[in-house]
Amino acid sequence: MLPSAAWQKVLAGAAATASSSAPPPNWNITHLFGPSLSSSASIFFASDTNYSHQVTQPWTRHAAPSFVATIQPATVGDVQNIVKIAAAHKIPFLTTGGGHGLSIQMAQVKAGLQIDLQNFQSVRFDPATELVTVGGAVKFQQLIAPLYSAGYQFPLGTAYCVGVVGSTLGAGVSANQGYMGLLIDLLEEVQLVTSDGGLVTASRTQNEDLFWALRGAGANFGIVTAATYRVPRAVNRGLVTNVNYLFPSAKKAGAVWKYLAGLDQGMAERMALNIATFPGGEGVERSLVVNVNYAGPLSEAAPHLAAISALKPLRTEVLEDVAWPDVFRTSYFGVEDTKACSRNQHVNMRSVGAKSTPDVETILAFLEEMERFSEDHPDLLAALVIHRFATQKVLDAADDENPGAYPHRDLKMHIQLEIEAKSNKKDKVMDEFLDAARQNFTKASGYDTPVVYVNFAHGDEGPAAWYGKKNLGKLAKLKKDWDPKGLFSFYDAVASEKLIKEDM
């Protein structure tokens, strides 16, 4: 059910290559890069006492890369020069925008270089053209002020603190996608620093094939320093109905899972669900919270809420007229979940894309296994998180002439399996539990082969699961054209033409 032996060898080989290509200790990063940087650029070293406060930190430390230094470029020219010099000296590097990247492949970068785009946070919105241009490190929260007051709305990811460009390069799924489409459907143009240090524009009329690849497999082709999007007018003046339902026992909530399965046949385009298990205290069962947000007034949302309200939740919390920027800032029954926007956590994750809701037996069996796991390892916090987003506008955009490389437009549900720990001491135990659970959910996902949204991927599923088997040939050719040395291959790398042939 999971990647081929050939792809596993690629991962192992890439890790060895990354390790061997680390810069020797006597290389002077300041000497190499300093003369080619602008006066406003900065270099920080991992040995600096305040390093963690100066540079963008990762969301999770699980399988994190290691850096000897971080460069914060101040200009596009800085980025170009960094890429040229790093390539010339075979120094592996990763680029950080919002800092929410999640893939074990990043751990292949050992003693490498972080290119931190902190200085690229400009936001320019033009109401006359209804276009917004953002820098490579802009987060969703930074778009709120210039858009909301003007009567516009932008699809938020699964957290307001996520980077806009990083989310877009994988596709940009969101709670708004049913009526606004994916972020790649709104993307008009990107400014990209390529593997040779060049600067190109990619759009529907310039470098069209590259623009296609960037929208779904974008981390493989360069560094996006700026991106321009069409901005939709706000729906219902940007006001959302947000409802939370609390069920006292996740294991006994079979009716909730049946309700979820019923949505496979049709779900209102303005509706989205976020479902999560929450641990109870000693002797108290794990609870289940179902969050429903609807882009419209309560009177319009009520018919869509009736079925779940009839399941007799323990508590119901109705929040009317919530401004769209505040949807992911709201708490659940007074408890705010800050995990999505925290830093340097140790969160181990797997994700499964589903075309249909897994059968109730599979879900309940996992919950039973999770209870046993939690009893055996009380120091580990396990959870099941499900995002169920509508797909109407997503599917409509597939008919465009150049819809992008994202292959999973019929994906209806993101199933996330998470374990939070205090350190990496129990990674092996966590990996065994999560891998088994992922395999069981994959079998019940409605797909014949593994499918996962690349921005939620663990990094070992393989290119077919991330980018779709039918896209691999074209992506491999474009990778060879635009990144022949594989500089941008530390985040869910596109398969080479040779590997594709070996797997056929």
Q: pLDDT tens across 361-397, in order?
A: 999 999 999 999 999 999 999 999 999 999 999 999 9
Q: What is the arithmetic mean of pLDDT over 113-131?
A: 97
Q: pLDDT tens across 246-281, in order?
A: 999 999 999 999 999 999 998 999 999 999 999 876
Q: pLDDT tens across 42-76, in order?
A: 999 999 999 999 999 999 999 999 999 999 999 99
**pLDDT above 80: residue 417:** yes
Residues 2/462, Cβ–Cβ less than 8 Å: yes
Q: pLDDT tens across 74-100, in order?
A: 999 999 999 999 999 999 999 999 888
Count Cβ atoms within 10 A of the Cβ of residue 470 and give its class: 0-12 exposed, 13-18 middle, 19 or more buried.
exposed
Q: pLDDT tens across 344-356, in order?
A: 899 999 999 999 9
**pLDDT above 90: residue 342:** no
Lowest mean pLDDT among 257-261, 442-446, 495-499: 495-499
Q: What is the arithmetic mean of pLDDT over 166-171?
A: 96
Task: State the distance between the two ends of the chain, measured CA to CA, in whole angstroms.
Answer: 16
287-294 β-sheet, strand order: 315-323, 239-247, 287-294, 271-278, 381-389, 413-421, 346-354
- Give the containing element (helix H, strand E) for 503: helix 497-503
Q: What is the greatest pairwise CA distance in the chain? A: 68
Q: At residue 301, what are phi and psi to the nearest 5 degrees?
A: -80, -25
Predicted structure pTM score: 0.94
The predicted structure's pLDDT at residue 429: 97
**pLDDT above 90: residue 338:** no
- Give the containing element (helix H, strand E) for 319: strand 315-323
Q: At residue 200, what are phi and psi to the nearest 5 degrees?
A: -130, 160
For 394, the token pair is: 């997503």
Cα 413 from Cα 416, distance rounded (Å): 10
The predicted structure's pLDDT at residue 467: 98
- How sure is the predictor about 156, in pLDDT bands with cuts at 50, 70 and 90? confident
Q: What percent of the chain has pLDDT over 90?
A: 81
**pLDDT above 50: residue 18:** no
**How remote is the C-alpha of 454 from its chain's centroid?**
7
Residues 201/224, Cβ–Cβ less than 8 Å: no
**pLDDT above 60: residue 1:** no
Q: Single out the residue of 481, 403, 482, 468 nearest to residue 492, CA to CA.
A: 468
SS3 content of the chain, % helix, strand, coil (to 5): 35, 25, 40
**Strand, helix or coil for residue 74:** coil
**The residue to which tokens 């794990």 are assigned:** 286
The predicted structure's pLDDT at residue 196: 98
- Give the containing element (helix H, strand E) for 88: helix 76-88
Instruction: List all residues 6 or more positions away from 267 whose beta carbon is below 8 Å from its beta carbon.
Output: 178, 388, 390, 391, 412
**pLDDT above 60: residue 2:** no
In 105-247, alpha helices (H)? 144-148, 164-170, 177-180, 183-186, 208-217
Q: What is the mean pLDDT of the chain?
A: 91
For 36, the token pair is: 């080619």
Q: Single out the residue of 403, 349, 347, 341 nearest to residue 140, CA to CA.
A: 341
Residues 271/178, Cβ–Cβ less than 8 Å: yes
How wide is the angle at C-alpha 405 spanned by C-alphas 158 and 18, nearest 5°? 80
- How sure is the predictor about 499, in pLDDT bands with cuts at 50, 70 and 90? low
